[in-house]
Structure 1
């Protein structure tokens, strides 16, 4: 869906024909190579939550957290990180849920 919208935007733009062809040629490669950033490990310590994945990030306080059943999404300074049900059971994520709840800020 996103690729179709991007292709439509490229075609409807006022770019020269050669630039449109280049962008339309590169678009499938970019769409195929993009992967949702997923953490490989989560650690909870005195400094906060450490998310280890493509980048190592330490969150002293949560920015935004969305929890829907076993799915967890965390907004970090480097983007959103998602933990799905097949990556970690709810019992293993419970300390993280508690930390996010205690450190939340309203407003």
Structure 2
């Protein structure tokens, strides 16, 4: 990481354990709706099997690295994206979701220490769009 006086910051993000938990939590919320529906038994089993396949294949897009230049934020993940101005940003405690032109990206608390992410939180807050 750069020095405290440098206008450039970079943080490498570790893998998070939360996306897997969110996938299975979403499945647990859908299962009662399928079971309580008035569908025949074979249709319920088919939907429950499809749900398991869909949940196992779903991947939450997460960045691998964040780099803050003087006026831009570079997000490296599946696609490298450069943002001069953030779109919508949701921050709830140490969890951060940011909308980019290619979709939503999520940064969880276990990917990096909050102290390393603080400059990114500040940049996103001060450069946000006011509607």
TM-score, with length taken from structure 1: 0.71
Q: Give 5+ residue unaligned stretches, structure 1.
A: 7-22
Q: What per-residue deviation string (whole Å, max 9, x for no partner) do you get for residues 4-60 of structure 1?
A: 9x9xxxxxxxxxxxxxxxx99766433311111111110101351111111111111
Report whether the alignment pairs 1:70 with 2:94: yes
CA distance in 1, matches of 2:71, 2:50: 42
- Does residue 89 (structure 1) correspond to residue 113 (structure 2)? The answer is yes
SS, match of residue 91 in structure 2: strand
RMSD across aligned C-alpha pairs, in angstroms?
2.7
Mapped pair 1:30 → 2:30: no
Kindly indicate whether structure 1 or structure 2 has the higher relative contact order, using CA contacts under 8 Å at least 6 residues apart.
2
Q: Which runs of 4+ in 1 moved over 4 A?
A: 1-4, 23-28
Distance across 2 between alignment mates of 1:104 and 1:90: 20
Ranges in structure 2 where 5+ consecutive residues have no aligned partner: 1-24, 31-46
TM-score, with structure 2 as normaliser: 0.60
